[in-house]
Chains A and B, each alone.
Chain A
Amino acid sequence: MLRLGAKKLAGLAPRVPASGPAGVLPRLYHERVVDHYDNPRNVGSFDKNDPTVGTGLVGAPACGDVMKLQIKVDEATGKIVDARFKTFGCGSAIASSSVATEWVKGKHMEEVLSIKNTEIAKYLRLPPVKLHCSMLAEDAVKAAIKDYEGKRAMSNGSSDGAKDIPLEKAADA
């Protein structure tokens, strides 16, 4: 039943913005994967030059995946107020990043850094071959926070603003 449901959902669903390979999801995925694949949360982008935005850009050469995860931080409290992602990859990668954006929202950055890929994988019941997808999501969150902190350090150091910060610093996680 679940198999059929998953196939139907993935096959008949309208094209979601971030669903790179719109192929049918491999069988036997947990319904949460299908749910996040079918209705990805927080798809989209923030302006990467916004000083309150941290951008994490990571990739997995195994599948040629690329994942962009952005956080918007309340500078006063250090809390993540919003998050966006854009992932071109398999269903597991999309679901992992979708879950990650849900989990980081409303949390303090310190808290978020403790999110482990194994928690995402456990939540989505990812099969062993797809563990690297959750790893990618964890790395993307870390890269986003690093990017944000890099921007802040720069704007504190010089009054130039964060506009000219090379993006390489961001994803150096």
Chain B
Amino acid sequence: MWKRRLNAPLSAALRRTLAQAGRATVPIHSASQRLQRLAEQRAPSLSSDVGIAGLSHFGRRDSLWSSGRSCCSESAPECWNCGAVARKSATTPFLVCESCRSVQPVDESVDYFQIFGLEKKYEIDVSNLEGKYKDWQKKLHPDLVHSKSEQEKEYAAGQSARVIDAYRTLSKPLTRAIYVLKLEGVNVDEEETVSETELLTEILELREAVDEAADSQALEQIQSQMEDKLRHWSNSFASSLWTRKFEDALTCVRRMKYYTRVKEEITKKL
């Protein structure tokens, strides 16, 4: 809009000279006069009221506009608000603009590992997640944008929810395992019926034991048993993934799921 208005003096001047050349075109003449007046009214306000800030603002808009044209050839994300382009070398994904701090729209192509600046692999150092998670929420939390536009509030709600999801997913071995498989294009079919009798018999017995446990000591004993099992199957998962044996990896995930479930039951009772 601004650009068009600012272009007006030129076109108006052109039309004026044209109109002066051929007096017959009266309607154009009057129209161009109106345009000219508009442009003249606009021009002083630009230079006097807004001053340097206005100029720099203009400059940014302009760069947004021109880079907007070239965005089709290169895909470095840029801020919807100020037009600043994300640094290509940046290790953190572009969820917030570094220049104007505006929250950016959710980009689904950014995976959970990228959000936490991690390499895409199953074995990660979980202890670093919480700090990074809190850092993100300091920038993305919807409470921080309550005075901003509806659009940005929506972005903040989406980004914040996604970071929560990412944190929850990566912090637990089971959900992380399922997520890593998903990134590999292997989906865990949750609707399937399993009939691994050995596993199911074991789980049935465990669940009965949890149900009938007389005291918390008995429960804690099963709990630590489950932790051992989870550790074991988590390691198996890691090596299956490493060798890209996805069927084996799925078997590990199923087992982790069941042992996690037993653990949850124990937690409920403790």
Chain A interface residues (CB < 8 Å from chain B): 17, 20-23, 57-64, 66, 68, 86, 88, 132, 135-136, 139, 143, 167-168, 170-173
Contact = CB atoms under 8 A, between A and B. Distances in A.
B195 A59 contact: yes
B146 interface: no
B69 interface: no
B198 A63 contact: no
Nearest to A136: B193
A57 B200 contact: yes
Contacts of B268: 21-23
Contact of A167 (B191, B201, B257, B260): B201
Nearest to A166: B197
Interface in B197-214: 197-201, 203-204, 207-208, 211
Which applies to chain B's interface (DSSP): helix, strand, loop or mixed? helix
Contacts of B265: 20-21, 88
B194 to A, nearest CB: 5
B215 interface: no
A10 B193 CA distance: 27
A58 B197 CA distance: 8
Given A57-B200, A61-B258, A172 B195 contact: yes
Contacts of B199: 59
B207 A58 contact: no
B200 A58 contact: yes
B254 interface: yes
Contact of A171 (B192, B200, B211): B200
A141 B200 CA distance: 16
B150 interface: no
A59 B193 contact: yes
Interface of B: 188, 190-201, 203-204, 207-208, 211, 253-254, 257-258, 260-262, 264-265, 268
Contacts, number: 81
26 contacts: A23-B268, A57-B195, A57-B201, A57-B204, A58-B193, A58-B195, A59-B193, A59-B196, A61-B192, A62-B190, A62-B191, A64-B203, A64-B257, A64-B258, A64-B261, A64-B264, A66-B200, A66-B207, A68-B200, A68-B204, A86-B208, A88-B265, A132-B191, A139-B195, A171-B196, A171-B197
Contacts of A170: 197
B258 A168 contact: no
Given A86-B208, A139-B195, 12 more contacts: A20-B265, A57-B197, A57-B200, A59-B195, A60-B193, A62-B191, A63-B261, A64-B261, A68-B200, A139-B193, A168-B198, A170-B197
Contacts of A171: 195-197, 200
A21 B201 CA distance: 18
A74 to B, nearest CB: 26
A131 B208 CA distance: 25
B204 A86 contact: yes
B257 A61 contact: yes
A86 to B, nearest CB: 7
Contacts of B211: 17, 20
Contacts of A132: 190-191, 193
Contacts of A21: 265, 268
Contacts of A167: 197, 201
A66 B203 contact: yes
Contacts of A23: 268
Contacts of B207: 20, 66, 88
A82 B79 CA distance: 69
Contacts of B197: 57, 167-168, 170-171
B260 A61 contact: no
A45 B262 CA distance: 21
Contacts of A58: 193-195, 200
A172 B195 CA distance: 6
A143 B201 CA distance: 14
Given A57-B200, A58-B200, A135 B191 contact: yes
Sort A-B residue pairs by CB-CB distance and give the 4 closest, nearest first.
A64-B261, A62-B190, A171-B195, A88-B207
